Every structure is written in C-alpha cells, then in structure tokens.
Structure 1
Amino acid sequence: MSTSLATYISLPGQTAEAFEHWHEVFGGRLNLLRYGDVPMEGMPFEPDPQAVAHVTLSLPGGELAGGDATDSKDYPIRDTAYSLLYTVESPEAARDLIGKLISGGGSENMPFENAPWGGWYGQAFDRFGVMWAFSVDAGESGESGEAAG
C-alpha cells in the first residue's frame, strides 16, 4: 500500500446523502459501507445499522472519506475555517462544478474570478454546509482578462 492523504468528514446522519450528492456533482468512484453491512461483534457501541460506517469517493487527484458521527453532539459543519480545495484544469470545469453545487441547494460564497496571484479561484457552500474552494492554475486556464460569469 502506498502512502496517501485523504480528507475525512463526518456529517451527523447525512453522510450517505452528502457523498451521493458529491458523486453526482464530481463523478468518481463511490464505495459506501453501512454498519448493517459489517459484523457487529466487538463494537464498543451499538450504531444504527443504516448509519454509514465508512465511505470513500475517489476523484481524479484525491479521495474524500467519511462516516456518520456516532455520538449525539452537534458539530458545526458550515464554517469558513476550512474548505475542500479542488484544483481543476479549466475555468469552465470549475464553473460547471460550482453551478452543480449551487443548483443542488448550495450557495456561492466567493465569485469564481481571476485571482490576484494568477489563475482563478472561487468558493461555494454545498447544501450540507461544506465549503468547496475551486482553483485553476494560471498556466492551465487558457483564459485571460476578466472572469466570465
């Protein structure tokens, strides 16, 4: 097994819905395992059999992983202290993904425009409150000048 780094996110009771939505938006390969699908012997708690034990969404360039939160704490999801940064090959690809997140119940946080450091950058919240940041490197965009909206 090679070394890798994946983003892991727990959404209380919404992990399956979120990952299925992200799969619709971004494509990739989705692998979802519920607690009812695994042996429960030796578990230190008794989870809902429909709760997500582990899920992965493999995308070009990386992987998202997650599971349902198994405690009753209320964790804040929507915040600007973190984001999932996705660097894509073109402004058109980024605009398409942002549009899918917004049309799926999300909202724009920062318009997708030319970035002061070169290239393109923008942000959107999905309907689950997760902030997605999109970037296109300066040499990759093939576009120059003002951002098209």
Structure 2
Amino acid sequence: MAQSLATYIALPGTTAEAFEHWHEVFGGELNLMRYGDMQLEGMGFEPDPNAVAHVTLTLPAGVLAGGDAMDDGKDYPVRDTAYSLLYTTDTPEEARGLIQKLLDGGGAVGMPFEQAPWGGWYGQAFDRFGVMWSFSCD
C-alpha cells in the first residue's frame, strides 16, 4: 500500500451527521461503519452500537476520516482556531460556493473570503459542528 496522509477528526456523537453534511457540501465517496456493524468480541470497551466506528469521505483532493469520540461525556471542545481543514479550490467562485453551502447548513463566517496580502484568496467558515474550514485559491 502506498503511503498517504489523511485528516482524522473525532466528534462528540455527531460524526455521522457531520460527514453526511460534508458529503452534501463537497461530494466525494462516503463510507461509514457503526460499531453495531462490527464484531465486537475482544474489544476493551462496550461502545454504543449506533456510534460511528470509522468513516471516510474520499474527495479528489484527499481523504477526511473520523469516528465518534469515546470520552464518556467529558467536555469535548470542537470549535477552536488551533486547527482547520484547508480546502484549496481552482477558482474563487468555487470557494465562495462551498462556503455558502456551509453557511446555509448552519455555519458561520470565521474570516471573510477575500483577496489576501500574498495575492491569492483566503477565508474561513465554521460549520454547524464547530469545525473550522479554511479556503484558499491562487
């Protein structure tokens, strides 16, 4: 198998909803497996059978993977500016369209998408799950 790097995100019980939303926004191929779909013998814990064990959203530009957090109700902050998912588009119009889909889905602007000092375009939007998406375009 060739080496690759994918982004993995654990969400507090909202992974299925988030990945289905992102699939609607960005397209791609969605593969989702819940713990109830698996053989659980030998696992060191008893997960909710409806919890997401593993999900991938394969896009032309890369893979986003994730699962539901198994933190037993601990405070699990998602919204932060310490990380973002950077999505690079071919045109500013394409980025604006994706940002608008996130906003229409209950998101909020983090930084307006506009021409950046380095000459390209850049902006940020938080989706309704608190994940910050950064958009870039030359």
Short-chain TM bin:
over 0.9
Q: Any gaps of 5 or more consecutive residues in structure 2?
A: none
Aligned length: 137
1:1-149 to structure 2, matched below 5 A, reads: 1-72=1-72, 73-137=74-138
- Please report the TM-score for the alignment, with normalisation by the length of structure 1: 0.90
Distance in 2 between residues matched to 1:118 and 1:38, nearest whole Å: 49
Distance in 1 between residues matched to 2:134 and 2:79, nearest whole Å: 13
Distance in 2 between residues matched to 1:60 and 1:112, nearest whole Å: 22
Distance in 2 between residues matched to 1:9 and 1:85, nearest whole Å: 14
Shift, 1:74, TM fit? 1.6
Distance in 1 between residues matched to 2:38 and 2:114, nearest whole Å: 45
Shift, 1:107, TM fit? 0.3
Q: Any gaps of 5 or more consecutive residues in structure 1?
A: 138-149
Q: Deviations 1:60-100 (Å, cap 9, x if unpaired)?
A: 11110000011222211001111000001110100000000
Distance in 1 between residues matched to 2:131 and 2:113, nearest whole Å: 17
Distance in 2 between residues matched to 1:24 and 1:89, nearest whole Å: 19
Over alpha carbons, which structure has the higher Rg?
Answer: 1
Q: Deviations 1:82-130 (Å, cap 9, x if unpaired)?
A: 1000001110100000000001000001110011011100000000000
Moved over 4 A (4+): none
Structure (1 or 2) with the greater strand fraction = 2
Letter paired with 2:6: A
Distance in 1 between residues matched to 2:60 and 2:114, nearest whole Å: 23
Distance in 2 between residues matched to 1:71 and 1:133, nearest whole Å: 27
